[in-house]
Amino acid sequence: MIIFDLDGTLWDSTVPIAESWNILIKREMGRDEGLTPADIMRNQGKTMDRIADDLFGYLPPDERYALARKCEVFENEYITESGATLFEGVEETLAGMMDMGVKMAVVSNCQEGYIKAFLDSMDMWKYFVDYEEWGRTHLSKAENIKLVMDRNNEEKSIYVGDIQADADSAHAAGVPCICAEYGFGEICDAEGRINSFGELPAVLKELGYL
């Protein structure tokens, strides 16, 4: 099974996320937060509570997490309608691997409902057999990777991500990691690397996963 990270690996949603959070905060607090795509990008890969700590640290914990929950719900609705930007070659490559009978899944540290918003907005349900997210289980990414593998009776899997935390999570789950070099971060100890999504099948073949 090939398990994918979402943000920075399959798509870039930093613009609609920043837009949706600014709209919600203006509505709830009457203030222009001025969040930018760069603010969102630097927090990609973190759990939602850690993102709230970074962006809303000026609020008491109870208030910052309550605000983050409202932002998450509105973000899911907003992205379901607006979609975001798939990285070049994603759909064509996923379609090719699906035709080869490759089982694929998505595991992200996002809020509950965010992966569904991705699948709905970009018409991606046909490519993935399963997904899991921090907001649904409140488990670590490593635990969610293992959960998806166990649920699908998969003993051999590989994770594709774009930041060091992705590799750390994959290795903690006992699986190798391919680094998406075009993404939002860096990985120093990946077993494979791709400079574009279309390179993925060749690297998977080299590593014995195709």
The domain that holds 90 is classified in CATH as 3.40.50.1000
Cβ pair 177, 161 in contact under 8 A:
yes
**Spatial CA neighbour of 115 closest among 3, 194, 200, 2:** 3
Q: Tell me the two tokens of residue 171.
A: 């290795």
CB neighbourhood size of 135 (10 A): 19
Cβ pair 196, 182 in contact under 8 A:
yes
> What digits encode the pLDDT tens for the residues 56-72?
999 999 999 999 999 99
Domain span at residue 127? 2-12+86-206
Q: What is the pLDDT of residue 31?
A: 86
Do residues 91 and 118 share a domain? yes
- Any idea what the Cα angle at residue 19 is, between residues 51 and 122, rounded to 5°? 90
Domain final position from 82, 103, 124: 82
What's the domain count of the chain? 2
Where are the alpha helices (H) located in 42-175, listed in sequence order? 48-55, 61-82, 90-99, 114-121, 134-137, 141-151, 164-172
Cβ pair 139, 101 in contact under 8 A:
no
Q: What are phi and psi of 14, to 5 degrees?
A: -60, -35
Q: Calculate mean pLDDT across residues 67-90.
A: 95
Cβ pair 36, 59 in contact under 8 A:
no
Q: Is 90 exceeded by the pLDDT of residue 139?
A: yes
Domain final position from 82, 97, 128: 82
Q: Calculate mean pLDDT across residues 81-92.
A: 97
Do residues 137 and 197 share a domain? yes
Q: Which residues of 77-101 are buried (b: 16+ CB within 10 A; e: fewer)?
A: ebbbeebbebbebbbebbeebeeee
- At 180 the three-state DSSP class reads strand
The pLDDT-based confidence of 104 (bands split at 50, 70, 90) is very high
Domain final position from 26, 49, 82: 82
Q: Is 80 exceeded by the pLDDT of residue 45?
A: no
